[in-house]
Structure 1
Amino acid sequence: MPTVSVIIPTYNRAKPLQRTLDSVLAQTHEDLEAIVVDDASSDETASVMESYDDPRVTFIEHETNKGGSAARNTGIEHATGEYMAFLDSDDEWLPRKLERQVDLLERRSDEWVAAYCGVEMVSESEPGAIRKLATHLFSRRAVTEGKEGGEELVREVLSDDLHTSAGSTLIVRSDVVEAIDGFDESFARFQDSEFLIRVLQQGKLAYVNAPLVRRHESGNPSASDLEVADQHYLQTFSETVSDLEAQGYDVIGAHRYMLGKAFIGEGNLVRGARYLVRGRRPRPRQYPGLAATLFSGVQRRLG
């Protein structure tokens, strides 16, 4: 039985998949299995996987497209490790990612059931000069340390204040994953946050203070799709949201701000502004992103 089962769901990502899987097989923690679940791709994914002759690699194919959550659950069903780690098929790990996370959890008490780590964002295209200038003028450079804890972190996740990039950073004890029945397949978006909230209800989340994951930007869902998914997300945790709002946490305002940015970024300035005026006031660290989004939205509108 390997220490870690790495679950990689994929769909039509034959080109980046090789980079992703190679980063798993290059881990300094070698006691692992990599389970790649192809969610009925129509590209060369199967051909890419045929090039791997490593007993640690398992390749599973869905006959029909079922979605990312279902693909992860298929991987969970076949996992045999003490821990399960999740990785999106266009991201990659630095070599010591699993070593440092496993070591951290092994040194903690049993109440620490999961760990995440820092992330380095990788842009596939060079930002324009105006966007660079907006970021420079509005940003306040500050080091934000990752947060650790238990169920109290649920409010941070729901309030959009804790971004763990769980789909590529998270490692969880397998018994916990089984106890919460894996991923909720009704979620097309926010599945990582929804999953993490239920993990936090089982135990504590640890943090490795190092950027051990390289996340590659691969596009965003449409604002309308995000709006529908966000309603489902908030409805799922409606009781918790109501309790947090009663305690003074502006959860709904944070989500309005997020949706406002999404619509503005698409050039739908009026609809975006309606969300923003009812949303939570942006924090200083959010100014650069808001400025860049506004510039991008105006460009689209004028174009």
Structure 2
Amino acid sequence: MPTVSVIIPTYNRAEVLPRAIDSALDQTLSDVEVIVIDDASTDDTETVVTSYDEPRVTYLAHETNRGGSAARNTGIEVATGDYIALLDSDDEWAPTKLERQVETLEQRSSEWVAAYCGTTLIDDEGANPVWERIKSFVGLHSAKEGREGGEELVKEVLMENLHTSAGSTLIVDSDVVDQIGGFDESFDRYQDTEFLIRVLKQGKLAYIDEPLLRRYPSGGPSADSVRQANTHYLRTFAEDVVELETRGYDVTGIHQYALASLYLREGRFNRGLAYLRAGQTPGLRQLPGLLYTVCTGIQTRLTD
């Protein structure tokens, strides 16, 4: 049995997929199995994966596209490792990522069932360098990381105060993954976050304060699809949301503000302003980011 089972769901990413697979195979913790789940790709994904002359790599394929949650569950079903590690097919790990996480968890008590790590966001090569410089100052790329703990972190996740990039940073005790039943296949967005919240209700989450994940830009979902997924997400954790809002935390307002930003970025200003009025009032630190999204939306409208 390997120490870690790496689960890589993929769909039509044959060009960048080797980057993720290679980074999993090149770990200093070599006792791993890498399970790639092809969610009915129409490109050369199968050829790319089966070209690896490596017994640690397993290729599984869906006959029809079932979504990321189902793909991860397919991998989890055949995984044999002590830990399950998640990796998106367009991301890349530093060589010491798994070793540092396993070492951290095994040095702590059994309460600590999962770990995540710091990230480095790689800017789009085609991006405007002036805007990238501005974003570095206003903090649009600064993920909020570094928190450790258990169920008390559910509040931080729902309040958007804790961003873990769980789909590529998270490693979880396989027994816990079994206990919570893997991923909820009704989620096509927020799937990693929903999974993380259920993990936090089982035990504690550790943090390795090193940038052990390189995340690459891959576009993003439309505001409409995020809105639908957001509704499902907040309804799923309605009891937690009500409890937090009873204590004065404006969970709904924070999510409405996030939707406002997405609509403004798409240049859909009427919808964006409606969510902005309904959402949480932005603070001074949020104003530069809000201005940036408006400018992006104006640029989008001009180029349409």
Same fold (TM over 0.5): yes
- Give yes or no for contact 2:146–2:207 (8 Å, CA) kept in 1: yes
- Give yes or no for contact 1:5–1:81 (8 Å, CA) kept in 2: yes
Partner in structure 2 of residue 271 of structure 1: 271
- Give yes or no for contact 1:139–1:284 (8 Å, CA) kept in 2: no
Secondary structure in structure 2 of the residue aligned to 1:14:
coil
Residue type of the alignment partner of 1:194 = E
Deviation string for 1:85-143 (max 9, x for gaps)?
00000001000000000000000100000000001111233432552464366459989
Secondary structure in structure 1 of the residue aligned to 2:224:
helix
Partner in structure 1 of residue 193 of structure 2: 193
Structure 2 residues without counterparts, runs of 5 or longer: none
Change over 3 Å in CA distance of 1:47–1:285 after alignment to 2: farther
Residue type of the alignment partner of 1:218 = S
Give the 5 Å matches for 1:209-220: 209-220=209-220
- Give yes or no for contact 1:2–1:80 (8 Å, CA) kept in 2: yes
Partner in structure 1 of residue 207 of structure 2: 207
Change over 3 Å in CA distance of 1:25–1:143 after alignment to 2: closer
Partner Cα separation in structure 2 for residue 142 and residue 4 of structure 1: 29
Secondary structure in structure 1 of the residue aligned to 2:124:
coil
Partner in structure 1 of residue 225 of structure 2: 225
- Give yes or no for contact 1:40–1:62 (8 Å, CA) kept in 2: yes
Partner in structure 1 of residue 302 of structure 2: 302
Structure 1 residues without counterparts, runs of 5 or longer: none
Partner in structure 1 of residue 99 of structure 2: 99
Number of aligned pairs? 303
- Give yes or no for contact 2:144–2:161 (8 Å, CA) kept in 1: no
Change over 3 Å in CA distance of 1:131–1:235 after alignment to 2: same
Partner Cα separation in structure 2 for residue 9 and residue 25 of structure 1: 16
**Once the 2 structures are TM-superposed, how far is the Cα of residue 285 of structure 1 from its aligned partner?**
4.8
Partner in structure 1 of residue 184 of structure 2: 184
Partner Cα separation in structure 2 for residue 199 and residue 160 of structure 1: 17
RMSD (Å) for aligned C-alpha atoms: 1.8
- Give yes or no for contact 1:101–1:171 (8 Å, CA) kept in 2: yes
**Once the 2 structures are TM-superposed, how far is the Cα of residue 283 of structure 1 from its aligned partner?**
4.5
Partner Cα separation in structure 2 for residue 252 and residue 119 of structure 1: 27
Partner Cα separation in structure 2 for residue 139 and residue 168 of structure 1: 22
Percent identity reads: 59
Give the 5 Å matches for 1:278-289: 278-289=278-289
- Give yes or no for contact 1:190–1:229 (8 Å, CA) kept in 2: yes
Partner Cα separation in structure 2 for residue 287 and residue 139 of structure 1: 11
Give the 5 Å matches for 1:69-108: 69-108=69-108
Deviation string for 1:45-99 (max 9, x for gaps)?
0110121011111100111111000000000000000000000000010000000
Change over 3 Å in CA distance of 1:3–1:253 after alignment to 2: same
Partner in structure 1 of residue 5 of structure 2: 5
- Give yes or no for contact 1:134–1:291 (8 Å, CA) kept in 2: no
